[in-house]
Structure 1
Amino acid sequence: MDDAPTPAGTSAAVPSDGPAGSAPTVAAYLAVADEAFDGIEAVLALLDDDSVNRTPLPGTVNTVFALMTHVHGMACYWGGSLIAGERNPRDRASEFRSRGTVAEARDLLDDLRTRLPGWVDIACTEGVRDPHAAGTSRSDAADVTAEWALQHLFHEIAQHSGHMEICRDLVLAD
């Protein structure tokens, strides 16, 4: 932390007049995401290019790679398209059929680690830039707030991180 004195007449505190709050809010969102991302990294560390594409129960349980692809697509929709106004084409159904390598899964995770701070900052300072962004199965997406979108994004990351852990454990137990 910078211990430099603040110029007279100014405050070191960050104003909390943005839609979702202030710098402490941004830091809190990113800390929660980092915990989930670290969990996903731990899952990937134990898998190889075969096991990342295996399912413990074919036809009913998604593979770790498919889940990582879905997490990436979901986050790029809620954070990138809806909040930040980016154009992130998405084929949600194909996310669950995707196959790839551990390195490719890590690339998707690294992409989220890089892009998420910008999306959170936009949500906390501007709100939702494109409420009509395409890419979700939710019919109420156009009506959500930036706060709701961030909470939903983090809920989904955490939920699917847990799914990845269970899938990894069952696949490696085979």
Structure 2
Amino acid sequence: MDQNEYLYFLRRAFDGMINALEELGDELANVEPSPGRTNSAYAIAYHCTAVADYWIGHIVAGRPVDRDRDSEFAARGTVAELKRGLDPLFDRLRDDLRRAGGRTLPRNAPPPSYEGPDRRLTSVGVQLHVLEELAQHHGQIEITRDTLLDGAGR
């Protein structure tokens, strides 16, 4: 797999999420459309940064990653903060993929408690899982944006 092309598509997903968050603005980006039942657009995007960092950094490349998955869904912050974190994230991901060096099998397995594919994946499979998650959540953020902007009378 061409890693530059792969990272290009990950970045497109994140850029789409950021665009939707910018349309919402900081206040609406942190609103849960159905409190207690749905996550804020900000929390979903924040979760995606952790997904990419963990699955590529820790699972594929073996880099230590301190992740608290449950807290990701309660994350709050500004769009600018999230956006500033993307370049360093992509620097890490690029280094991780280089360090993995095309290994067929990932260096680590995810804990059974993490949601994900129900079978052991190759390194390419893990990368596809990350792209799958980002694509799904990008759409979820766009639906959340549309719901919130419609409810805000815009």
Cα displacement string for residues 79-118 of structure 1 (whole angstroms, at most 9, x for unaligned residues): 1111121111111111111111222221333333332222
Q: 2:48 aligns to what SS in structure 1?
A: helix
Aligned equivalents of 1:64 and 1:140: distance in 2?
Answer: 24
Q: How does 1:1-150 map to 2 (within 5 A)?
A: 21=1, 25-123=2-100, 125-128=102-105, 130-132=107-109, 137-138=114-115, 143-150=120-127
Aligned equivalents of 2:111 and 2:81: distance in 1?
Answer: 25
More helix by share: 2
Question: Any conservation in 2 of the 1:55–1:63 contact (CA below 8 Å)?
Answer: yes
Q: Which deviates the most, 114-123 or 30-39?
A: 114-123
Aligned equivalents of 1:107 and 1:163: distance in 2?
Answer: 22
Aligned equivalents of 2:113 and 2:42: distance in 1?
Answer: 20
Aligned equivalents of 1:140 and 1:62: distance in 2?
Answer: 22
Q: How many residues align?
A: 151
The gaps in structure 1 that reach 5 residues or longer are 1-20
Report the Cα offset of residue 63 of structure 1: 0.4
TM-score, scaled relative to structure 1: 0.74
Question: Any conservation in 2 of the 1:65–1:100 contact (CA below 8 Å)?
Answer: yes
Report the Cα offset of residue 169 of structure 1: 1.3
The gaps in structure 2 that reach 5 residues or longer are none
Aligned equivalents of 1:165 and 1:74: distance in 2?
Answer: 18
User: What corresponds to 2:140 in structure 1?
Assistant: 163
Question: Any conservation in 2 of the 1:53–1:99 contact (CA below 8 Å)?
Answer: yes
Aligned equivalents of 1:122 and 1:82: distance in 2?
Answer: 12
Change (3 A) 1:140 1:160: closer
Change (3 A) 1:133 1:60: closer
For the pair shown, the structure with the greater C-alpha radius of gyration is 1
Aligned equivalents of 2:110 and 2:128: distance in 1?
Answer: 18
Change (3 A) 1:39 1:122: same
Percent of aligned positions that are identical: 34
For 2:144, the aligned partner's letter is C
